[in-house]
Amino acid sequence: MADIIQLLPDHVANQIAAGEVVQRPASVVKELLENAIDANSDSIKLIIKDAGKTLIQVIDNGKGMSATDARLSFERHATSKIKSADDLFQLNTKGFRGEALASIAAIAHVELKTKQDDEELGTTIVIEGSEVKTQEVIVTPKGTSLSVKHLFFNIPARRNFLKSNTVELRHIIDEFHRVALAHPSIAFSMFSNGNETFNLPQSNYRQRIVNIFGNKTNEKLVPVEETTEVLTISGFVGKPEFAKKSRNEQFFFVNNRFIKSAYLNHAINSAFEGLLKDGAQPSYYLNLTVNPQTIDINIHPTKTEIKFDDEHTLYAILRSAVKHSLGQFNIAPVLDFDRDANLDTPYSYEQKGMPSVEVDRSFNPFKDDTPVSKPTAIASPSFKKDTGASWESLYVGLESKGTKTTKDFNEITFESQPENESIFKNENEVETKQTTYQLNNKFIISTIKSGMLVIDQHRAHQRVLYEDFLRHITIKEGVSQQLLFPLELHFSSQEIALINQLKEDLESTGFVFQSIKDATVLISGVPVNVPESEVSIILEQLISDVENEVPDSNFSATDLLAKSMAKSLAIKTGQTLTNPEQEHLVNRLFGCKEPNVSPTNKTTFITMTVDELDKKFM
C-alpha cells in the first residue's frame, strides 16, 4: 500500500497558521503594533482604510531591521525573542513565536520598509501570498513601515465572514485601546480613511485614560495601589455611579500585556458588591505586575489568556485592594479602627464646662392656678384648663322642641337615599368581564375559542414598540416632548462619532439634539412616553448594539435603531400590569404586522387548545 502521509507545502502551512493568528483585521493590527513596541519605538502611527480590508499600515521610529533580518522575519518560527524553551518563562516582550508575519504574508499583500539608525540605506520587501516578489535597497526614515493590503485576497471564504466596516473598525479600535493603554509612555496616533481618530501624546497612565475615553472620565477614576511579594497592582477603577451596562471599559494588563480573565473579573465584581445597580458593570483599568516565572502566556493563539500559578491568592489580593480603595476615597463605607476619636465629635469641649440645665421642680402642668378647697365645690376654670363639664355644651340645642330627651329610639326615622342615586347604581351593576390574567409578572394569559393564549409580555411589547419606532423613522414624524432643562450626557470620542451617524434617525423618533460637541451631548427633547431617566440607558444600549452589530450586518441602521430602542423601553419581566394594561398590550400586539415573533425573531406567544389540556389530565 502506498504511503499517504506527506508534508504540507510552506504556503499551505502558513495559511493554516493564519487561521489561528489572523481572525479579522484587528488581529493584524494587534500583531503589528506589538512588533512596533518590541522595536523600542516611542512614536507609532496606525493607518486604516475600509476598516482594514483594504489597508492596514503601522509606522514606527524603532530600531529597524537589517536586510537579512527583514527577509528572515517572514519565515515561520523565526524570532529574536527566545532561544530556548526556558525563555518562555522569562518573557518581557510582546511577540515570541515568530509566526505572525509569516501568517499575515500568506493571506495578504505585504510591503515592508525598514532601516536601522546606523545605516544610510534601508530595505523594502514585497510579498504576495507567501511569495517574495521583490527585495530592494531604498531610502527610508529610521524605523519600520509595514503595509498589509487586500487581507484574505486568496481566501474569499474567510473574507466573506468579515462583518460590516462599522463592526470591524470597532474591533480595531478596541485593539488600539488595549495597546495604547498598556504603554502610556509611547505616543500613538490613528487614522481611518484619511481622518484622524486618535492622537495620544506621551503621558502618564491617568492622562492616557482621559485622552482615550474623554475628559469627563477624569472625575470617575478611583486610584488603586497595592504592593505585595506576590503581586503589584496599580491603576484605576470607576466610581459605581458611573457604571454602564457594557463591558467596554474593563482592562486587565499583566506585565503590560492585555488579558481576559473571568476569574479576576469576578474579584472586581465582588469588591463592588452592593454598590452597583442591577445589570451595571464596573469600569477598571488595572496593571498587574507579577514574576514572569509564575505565569504561562503560551496557552492561547492570540495570547489574551494567561495561566497563573496561584490564582486564588491573586483573587484575594485584587479584591481587597479594590475594596480598600473604594473605602479610602469614601466610595463605600468601611470600618477604620485607626480613626482619630477627636474627629468624631463636631465640637471640642476642652476648657469648657458642661452646659447646665435649670429645672423648676415645683412646676406641675396639670395643677390649676386656683387651688380647690373642697372636692364638692365647682372651681372657676383657668385659661390653662377646661372644666370637665364642658363636653355637655357640645350637645346644647340638639333636643327637639316640645319633646323630652328620653324619646324612644323606635320613633327615630332616617333620611332616605336620593332617588337619582339609583341611576348610577344601575350603571355600575354592568361590570366588564376580566379576559386576561398575569402569571408570575411575566406572562399574560388570555382565553380564545379553542383554548388559551400565553403571551410573553416583554417580547410582545418589544414587537409593538419596534413597529411604532420603525414607522416614525420611516415617515419622519416622531412626536417629541420638550425637556424643561436640557439633558447633558457624556461619551467617548468614538461613541460621539456613532451618535453623529445615527443623529438623523434618532431625530425621526422624537429626539431633539441641542448640540453635539467634544465629548458632550445636549438633548432638549425626547420621544413621547420615554422617561428622562431612560435616555442615557437607551443611547448606551444603542451604541453597544451598533458596535457589536446586533443583530446582523444585513439589517439597515434604521432597523437596528428601532430594535435597540424597543429593547430598552419594553416592559420588563417582573413588572405588574393592571387588567386594562394587559388588554391594551394584547390588542396592540395583534394589531402588529408580525405579532408571532419579537424583533429578534423570538416567539411572542403560544396557544394551548382544549384538546391539549385534556391530554394533560389523562
H, E, C per residue of 65-114: CCHHHHHHCCCCCCCCCCCCHHHHHCCCCCCCCCCHHHHHHHCCEEEEEE
pLDDT value, residue 191? 94
d(CA 578, CA 443): 13
Residue 341 in 3-state DSSP?
helix
Identify which has the larger pLDDT, 434 or 248.
248
* Confidence at 189, pLDDT banded by 50, 70, 90: very high
- The residue-averaged pLDDT of 49-78 equals 88
pLDDT value, residue 531? 82
pLDDT value, residue 88? 55
pLDDT value, residue 377? 47
pLDDT value, residue 508? 81
Q: Extract the runs of DSSP E, i.e. beta strands, from 102-220.
A: 109-115, 122-128, 131-138, 143-149, 187-192, 195-200
Q: 214-223, 431-440, 443-452 — which is least confidently predicted?
A: 431-440
- The residue-averaged pLDDT of 292-315 equals 77
Contact 463, 592 (CB under 8 A): yes
Query: Which are the contacts of 2, defined by CB distance < 8 A and separation ≥ 6?
Result: none
pLDDT tens readout for residues 485-505: 889 888 887 788 788 888 887
Contact 577, 434 (CB under 8 A): no
With 0-12 CB in 10 A as exposed, 13-18 as middle and 19+ as buried, what is 13?
Answer: middle
pLDDT value, residue 19? 62
Burial annotation 302-325 (CB, 10 A radius, 16+ → b, else e): ebeebebeeeeebbebbbebbbbb
Q: Which residue type, as a one-letter code, is found at position 268?
A: I
Identify which has the larger pLDDT, 314 or 392.
314
Give the DSSP H or E segment for 160. helix 156-160
- The residue-averaged pLDDT of 258-275 equals 89
pLDDT value, residue 97? 53
Give yes or no for a cis peptide into 551 (omega within 30° of 0): yes
Calculate the average pLDDT of the chain: 80
Has residue 87 got a pLDDT over 60?
no
Q: Extract the runs of DSSP E, i.e. beta strands, from 272-396.
A: 284-289, 295-296, 307-308
pLDDT value, residue 390? 58
Give the position of cell 332616617: 414
- The residue-averaged pLDDT of 411-426 equals 53
Identify which has the larger pLDDT, 409 or 320.
320
- The residue-averaged pLDDT of 384-395 equals 56
d(CA 401, CA 113): 121
Q: Which residue type, as a one-letter code, is found at position 68?
A: T
pLDDT value, residue 553? 46
Burial annotation 54-90 (CB, 10 A radius, 16+ → b, else e): ebbbbbbbbbbbebeebbebbebeebeebeeeeeeee
pLDDT tens readout for residues 1-40: 677 787 877 767 766 666 667 888 999 999 899 889 988 8
* Confidence at 94, pLDDT banded by 50, 70, 90: low
- The residue-averaged pLDDT of 570-584 equals 89
Q: State the DSSP code for 400.
A: P
- The residue-averaged pLDDT of 142-156 equals 90
- Crossing angle of helices 262-271/311-328, nearest 10°? 30
pLDDT tens readout for residues 508-531: 888 899 988 877 899 999 887 788
Q: Which of 246, 250, 160 is nearest to 564 (CA)?
A: 246
pLDDT value, residue 222? 92
pLDDT value, residue 316? 92
d(CA 427, CA 105): 84
- The residue-averaged pLDDT of 368-396 equals 53
Q: How many CB atoms lie within 10 A of CB 258?
A: 18
Can you count the helices (H) and strands (E) in the chain? 16, 22
pLDDT value, residue 38? 86
Has residue 455 got a pLDDT over 70?
yes
Has residue 147 got a pLDDT over 90?
yes
Contact 292, 89 (CB under 8 A): yes
Has residue 394 got a pLDDT over 70?
no
Phi, psi of 356 (to 5 degrees): -95, 150
d(CA 194, CA 174): 19
d(CA 471, CA 539): 20
pLDDT value, residue 190? 94
Identify which has the larger pLDDT, 333 or 450.
450
Q: 176-180, 236-240, 329-333, 429-433 — which is least confidently predicted?
A: 429-433
Q: Which of 233, 275, 238 is nearest to 252 (CA)?
A: 233
With 0-12 CB in 10 A as exposed, 13-18 as middle and 19+ as buried, what is 558?
Answer: middle
Identify which has the larger pLDDT, 390 or 246.
246
- The residue-averaged pLDDT of 53-74 equals 90
Identity of the highest mean pLDDT range in 133-137, 411-415, 529-533: 133-137
In this structure, the dihedral spanned by the alpha carbons of residues 11, 91, 187 and 198, taken in order and rounded to 10 degrees, is: 60
pTM for the full model? 0.68
Has residue 180 got a pLDDT over 60?
yes
Domains and CATH numbers, the chain: 10-200 (3.30.565.10), 213-328 (3.30.230.10), 439-607 (3.30.1370.100)
Q: Which of 188, 169, 194 is nearest to 24 (CA)?
A: 169
- The residue-averaged pLDDT of 105-129 equals 91
Has residue 463 got a pLDDT over 50?
yes
Identify which has the larger pLDDT, 356 or 465.
465
Contact 251, 219 (CB under 8 A): no
